[in-house]
Chain A
Amino acid sequence: MSNYTEGILILLMINGIAAMGVSLLTGFTGIFTLGHAAYLAIGSYTTAILTLDYGLHWLPAVLLGGTLAMIIGYLVGLPTLKLMGDYYAIASIGLAESIRLIIENWQSVTNGARGIPGIDTFTTLPTTALFFVVMAYGAFCLINSRIGRAFKACRDDHVAASLLGFNTPRYRVLSLSISAFYVGIAGGLYAGFISFIQPVMFDMLKSTEMTSVVVFGGLGSMSGALLGTTIITLVTELFRPISQYRMLIYGLVLVLVMVFRPEGLLGRHEVGPALFRQLIGRHPAPQREERGPH
């Protein structure tokens, strides 16, 4: 396998981890975010600083990056997710910009706008694959559990959810914390992949892109989010030679999907036997117990 193919595969999986994080929050819990680049930045910078300045091994550094992103997500979520609505979307824009500005101005720690070069390239294909498989397994398990059902209840009708006994603010904060953890881990792996990070990588454009791939793939479908991010990553990568038209094609793909399939590529379906049965018009037998079809 050439270095280039390997690089694309790694990038696909890193973006996949981030997309699953956003999907959990936006697709399954119904909370829009326009600032998830903040958690990506926190993961990246934590990993870079801990490995370079403190000589920490990359594995605990990545995990600590994810954990710090999770803690920040939790703290931001507590006041902003009390009420349902678009408060968090607005707050997340502010959060992302603040985090970016802090990184840009905290020269002594983050090296400011010049960025941090020379990060160990620990993100190899097997490492990324391992992270991806474990985290994808966790995400799919979660959405097929009592917690996933609670998230979906909060998304579909938060009044009904609280009158079915769910403490909806608590579930929303939980969803955001897990989401931030996923994105933070993706950020850490990303730092180890390109070995040079700077604040401008984590701007508003990155945040919107992270949310749009999930909408593109289908809100409420984990495999849709993965499919969406795969297509968008490939489009942006494969058209690199004609880079002046790259963003044009990217925009065109998004517009076409939203026009012809506003619910996203997969809607709320997951790729799997249930989708296949749905396509050929057969409902699963009622004996199926532990997993409802999607």
Chain B
Amino acid sequence: MNASDNAVLSLSRVNKFFGGVHAVAEMTFSVEKGGLTGLIGPNGAGKTTIFNLVTGVYPIDSGEILFKGGSLVGRKSHDIIHLGIARTFQNLRLFHRSTVLENVMTACQHHHRYSFFEALSHLGRWKKEEKVISAKSLELLERVGLADRAYQAAGTLPYGYQRRLEIARALALEPELLLLDEPAAGMNPEEVQALNGLISDIHRDFSLTILVIEHHMDLVMEICPHIVCMNFGAKIAEGGPEEIQNHPEVLKAYLGEEVVDE
């Protein structure tokens, strides 16, 4: 597939090896601006590795990753984030002992800066900017339904709420592209349903482009009009939900091959 002009993120022939393991093989796909793309595949397929390559956690071995036309290859994680990409983590990386609000404020502060000396003296813009930061953070918490838990330690939240907090924290970076890594992991069906609504809502209200890794097929099939399926580091199928559901390679990856007795 050619990287269309409308692509926010495009990977072309990306490779990544971990020792002898070909974790990502010739991966090529792109995420349309304003789209909600699902990235699926069995465990160990290399989905999270893709996120780690995009956000600069690991360097890629070959290929090209473009964000809004500019290359991300060789950039440091913190630079990539400032270009407008935010992500959540499969294994939750919250600041457990800080409060819920503080977690969001930490991410929120990039857009409301004040100088080192204002931080040291609490003079000047400190008061005004801190007010804006905490107000905006509370608003985001309200958005994901955690406003009443703002002052408790993040580590004491139930699992499902911790995932929502990660989303709020990522939104505080005001990204254009949001990468969600298994946001529904460990959730029960009702929670997944609520999360579904949340993802669709923020996608619309923040005019985001979202790439979501998910194991819950019903979530992906319901909210993602465009799905990429990978297995053993390589793309095996791409298309709409219908197409993916009936794709022979996808069925093979998830359900295994029919064994024919000879």
Contact = CB atoms under 8 A, between A and B. Distances in A.
B and A form one assembly: yes
Interface in A151-195: 152-153, 156-157, 159-160, 162-168
B147 A286 contact: yes
Contact of A289 (B95, B97, B135): B135
Interface in A189-210: none
Contacts of A164: 81, 106-107, 169, 173
B209 interface: no
Contacts of A286: 138, 147-148, 150-151
A61 B16 CA distance: 55
A166 B95 contact: no
Contacts of A141: 119-122, 126
A163 B81 contact: yes
A159 B93 contact: yes
A145 B55 CA distance: 27
A164 B147 CA distance: 21
A118 interface: no
B39 to A, nearest CB: 18
Contacts of B135: 289
A283 B99 CA distance: 11
Nearest to A138: B120
A152 B109 CA distance: 14
A64 to B, nearest CB: 19
Contacts of B134: 289-290, 292
A279 to B, nearest CB: 15
A34 interface: no
B122 A145 contact: yes
B116 interface: yes
A147 interface: yes
Classify chain A's interface size.
Answer: 20 to 34
Given A141-B121, A163-B87, A289-B135, A283 B152 contact: yes
B151 A284 contact: yes
B82 A153 contact: no
Interface in B132-157: 133-135, 138, 147-148, 150-152
Interface residues of B, number: 47
Nearest to B92: A160
B101 A292 contact: yes
Contacts of B130: 145-146, 289-291
A157 B93 contact: yes
Contacts of B251: none
B77 A292 contact: no
Nearest to A137: B121
B193 interface: no
B95 A290 contact: no
Nearest to B98: A152
A165 B110 contact: yes
A7 interface: no
Interface of B: 55, 57, 76-78, 81-82, 87, 89, 93-99, 101-102, 105-107, 109-110, 113-114, 116, 118-122, 126-127, 129-131, 133-135, 138, 147-148, 150-152, 169, 173
Given A145-B119, A162-B81, 10 more contacts: A137-B121, A159-B57, A160-B95, A162-B76, A163-B81, A164-B81, A164-B106, A165-B82, A165-B107, A292-B101
Interface of A: 137-138, 141-142, 144-150, 152-153, 156-157, 159-160, 162-168, 220, 268, 283-284, 286, 289-293
Which 7 pairs from chain A and chain B are nearest by CB? A145-B119, A165-B81, A160-B93, A146-B109, A156-B95, A162-B77, A141-B122
